[in-house]
Each structure stands twice: as structure tokens, then as C-alpha cells.
Amino acid sequence: FYSLSAISSGIKEVRAIIESAEQSGKSILFIDEIHRFNKAQQDALLGAVEQGIVTLIGATTENPSFEVISALLSRCQVYVLKTLTEEQLLQILNHAIATDHILKEKKIFLDETQALFDFSGGDARKLLNALELVVSQFPKEKEIHITNQAVTNVLQKKAALYDKGGEQHYDIISAFIKSMRGSDPNAAVYWMARMIEGGEDPKFIARRMLILASEDIGNANPNALLLATSAFQAVQMIGWPESRIILSQTAVYLASSAKSNASYMAINEAQDLVRKTGDLPVPLHLRNAPTKLMKNMDYGKDYAYAHSYENNFVDLEFMPEKLKGKKIYEPGDNARENEMRRFLSARWKEKYGY
């Protein structure tokens, strides 16, 4: 059994353990905070995991879909450790009070526990840290009575102004997104600063802007998606604290851009249509015909290659028979999409009503 911390270890330590494991036979390798390993460090694990030289156990507080490379993740089973229940938290408190070499010397009474539970967020480590902090405020008391008020008085200044797992997290990110959607760069940067000061992962902020660039700006300004993508990549390359400048630039740009949710509404409409109409058959002229049998069944017959016609366009039916003339995409009322509307109108005439 080998154990590493990704915070203080690198490729050298990983390779040394793999070499040792090759000599001793199959081994278990536990890596704490595995999300701290970069791509090259995670790649170094891949061969040993594939060959079964080591059984890898990685622990992370982040979403492994974002933080662990896909090749490594696909070879692992993900187990989600859920927050502890209040009953379990109470057991931990009682056990700590009864067995900790410092706490057991004090007379501690748990008169109320809800505030401790709330501050812990279901995390045992936070719970015990909070208990220790509260108890330390009464060094000369013969009896320490833990109440909700006592906990709040001690922890209110210590508690994070921005809890990444709590309600405020979702409220602030909601305010951030809605400020950009509402074209207010001032509010957008303010709410971003609240997240930054609260210790939010900059990649999380960048991801949210990436989604907004497509959902709320879309083809009204296609450059928004390019900038948001570049910002996400730059944040990964530059690191903290300089990447906050990149995030700010992107947020201001997105907030100050023309807006359209037409593409977002189009995919929603299309998915709803699929759910209602089911698996409608693909028209024969659009089907792939890689075999002689398929060609004999008229697969691909009468298909017209658009590039062989004027303006690289041919009036051909691309929808299933039952959905002929069904308009799904409605361009937004902005300069770029009005140009797209004119293009589509010139090609399709009255068919889709552009």
C-alpha cells in the first residue's frame, strides 16, 4: 500500500512507486487531492492502472469529470461520498467529546446542535473544527454549554461569506449570470468579485461564462463563444491570481454584447418535437448507402449534392415526411441574425417563413 498527496508530490514520486509496485507485485496506490495533479502527472499513472500494476484510489473534493483526465476516469469507478446526516454528525460530536484527549477533560454539554450542523454542511471535519473553535472560546469555564447562539456568536465572523456548497453559492452565481444576460457589466464584475473573494474555483466561473456565451448571446455575436473558450483555456494556463483579469475582461465583454437565445430555444424546441413525434424515419434520399443492397433499396437515391448547384444550394427536403416545413430555428432580432434571416429567406423562399 502506497499513499501520496497530490499537493506535495509529482511525477518523480509517482514513477518511483510504480517501479516499486512492479517489483513487489500488485499494489494499492492512494492519492489524496488527485485533482491537484496536472495532465502530465495523471498521464504518468495511466499505464500502471491499465496494466493492473497498481489499484488506484483517488480522493477529490472536486467534480472528477472536470478535474481527472478522461482516459484515467474511464478506467475508474466513481463513488460519491454524500454529506453526513444529522444523526451521524451527532454521533461524531459525542464520540469526539468522549474520546479526544483535550475535550474529554472538559465538561461539555450539547444543549443545542443545529447551528453546528448548519455550519458543518454535513462535513465531519468542518464539524469538529467548529466544535474545537467554540470550546476554545471558554478556556476557564468549568462547564461548557454548547447552544446555537454560542456557536453563532463564535463562528459568524469565521464563517465564509461565500459557501461554495450552500444556498448563497447558488444565489450569487445566479446573480452573476443574470447580470451578464441583462447587459450590466458593473453588476457582473461585482458578483464575480464576491465569488473570487469567497474562494470560488476560477474554472467554475469560466465554465459558467462559456455556457452563457452560447445560451444567451449565441449567433448575435459568435465571437463571444470564442472569447469565452479562450478565457477558459487561459485560466487553466495562467493560474491564480492573474487569471481574475481574464475573467473580468470576459465578463465585461459578454455583458456588453448583443444577446440572443435563439439557438438555445431551437434545441429545446427540437428535443420537445422528438419526444412528441418519436423515431420518425429518415427520408430515403438522405440515408447512407454503403452496400449494394442498400442502394437497391433506394437508399441515397435522388439526393442532390448542394455544391453542384448555384450558390451551393438546392431545394431539397431534409426533414422527415411528417415534419415538412416545420420551423425550429427562429433568428433573433439583431444585426447578425437578421443577416442570417435574409440568407435563409433567399434560399428557402416561403417554406419556413423566414
Cell numbers found for residue 294: 442498400
Q: How many domains does the chain have?
A: 4
pLDDT digits (tens, 9 = 90+) for 66-104: 788 888 988 888 888 888 999 999 999 999 999 998 888
Contact 167, 174 (CB under 8 A): no
**Average pLDDT rounded to a whole number, residues 191-215:** 91
Cell numbers found for residue 312: 451551393
Q: Does 198 fall in a domain?
A: yes
Q: Is the per-residue pLDDT at 282 higher than 80?
A: yes
The DSSP call for residue 242 is T
Give the pLDDT of residue 310.
Answer: 94
N-term to C-term CA, the chain: 66
Q: Report CA 332 to chain centroid distance, whole Å.
A: 28
Q: Is the per-residue pLDDT at 10 higher than 50?
A: yes
> Which domain, by its residues, includes 288?
283-348
The domain boundary residue, chosen from 17, 38, 73 = 73
Cell numbers found for residue 85: 446526516
**H-assigned helices in 85-147:** 86-99, 114-120, 124-136
> Cα(174)–Cα(165) distance, rounded to whole angstroms?
14
Which amino acid, one-letter code, is at 237? M
The DSSP call for residue 96 is H
Q: Does 277 fall in a domain?
A: no
Q: Can you say whether residue 191 is alpha, beta or left, with left for phi > 0 and alpha for psi between -120 and 50 degrees?
A: alpha
- The residue that leads in pLDDT, 113 or 62, is 113
Q: Does 265 fall in a domain?
A: no
pTM above 0.85, yes or no: no
Q: Is the per-residue pLDDT at 309 higher than 90?
A: yes
What CATH number is associated with residue 190? 1.20.272.10
> Cα(306)–Cα(311) distance, rounded to whole angstroms?
8
> Cα(231)–Cα(250) distance, rounded to whole angstroms?
7
Q: Is the per-residue pLDDT at 281 higher than 50?
A: yes
Q: Is the per-residue pLDDT at 114 higher than 50?
A: yes
Contact 217, 260 (CB under 8 A): yes
Q: Does 272 fall in a domain?
A: no
**Average pLDDT rounded to a whole number, residues 148-176:** 72
**E strand or H helix at 146, and its extent?**
strand 143-146
Q: Does 161 fall in a domain?
A: no
Q: Does 315 fall in a domain?
A: yes
Q: Does 242 fall in a domain?
A: yes
Radius of gyration of the chain (CA): 29
Q: Does 338 fall in a domain?
A: yes
Same structural domain, 243 and 187:
yes
160 pLDDT tier (thresholds 50, 70, 90): very low
**Average pLDDT rounded to a whole number, residues 164-193:** 87
253 pLDDT tier (thresholds 50, 70, 90): very high
Q: To the nearest whole number, what is the mean pLDDT of the chain?
A: 89
Which amino acid, one-letter code, is at 36? R
Give SS3 for 247. helix
